[in-house]
Amino acid sequence: MIIGIALVSLLGHIFFPEPATNYYPWIENLLPIVMGLSVLGLALAFRWEYLGGVLSIGFFLLQLLLYWMIRGHFFPIRGLLVFSPLPLTALLFIYLGRADGSKPA
């Protein structure tokens, strides 16, 4: 479900940009790309729990940092509530990977 929501958000951002913007800088495309990489980390976590969880959290934090650098303000709280299942699930995968002892070599 999380992967589906993220893919719909990514496709909507790419194919239906905000109509009110006349100039759309290329750097804005980094935000959905990094979110896609974070979701890819979750997909990897189904096979390698620890590695996928760490990648997912890392890319999620990178997205927050990029948003702050590009837009000049912090990610909206409503957006964090929508995407909150992503880092929470990644944290659970990290915990599961540590409990199983399946850390990457």
**Structurally, how many domains does the chain consist of?**
1
Q: Give me the pLDDT at residue 56, please.
A: 94
Report yes or no on 59 lying in a domain.
yes
Report yes or no on 19 lying in a domain.
no
Q: Give me the pLDDT at residue 102, please.
A: 52
With 80 as the cut, is the pLDDT of residue 2 above it?
no
Report yes or no on 21 lying in a domain.
no
- How far is Cα 100 from Cα 94, in angstroms, rounded to an integer? 10
Q: Give me the pLDDT at residue 75, please.
A: 85
Q: Give me the pLDDT at residue 20, please.
A: 62
Contacts 24+ apart (CB under 8 A), 6-11: 6/35, 6/36, 6/38, 6/39, 6/83, 6/86, 7/36, 7/39, 9/35, 10/35, 10/36
Positive or negative torsion for Cα 42, 48, 50, 51: negative
Report yes or no on 34 lying in a domain.
yes
Report yes or no on 46 lying in a domain.
yes
13-55 pLDDT, tens digit per residue, is 777 766 665 666 778 788 888 988 999 999 999 999 999 999 9
- How far is Cα 82 from Cα 21, in angstroms, rounded to an integer? 23
50-84 pLDDT, tens digit per residue, is 999 999 999 999 999 998 998 888 888 888 888 88
Higher pLDDT, 15 or 85: 85
Report yes or no on 38 lying in a domain.
yes
* DSSP helix/strand/coil, 44: helix
Domain of 84, in residue numbers: 2-14+27-100
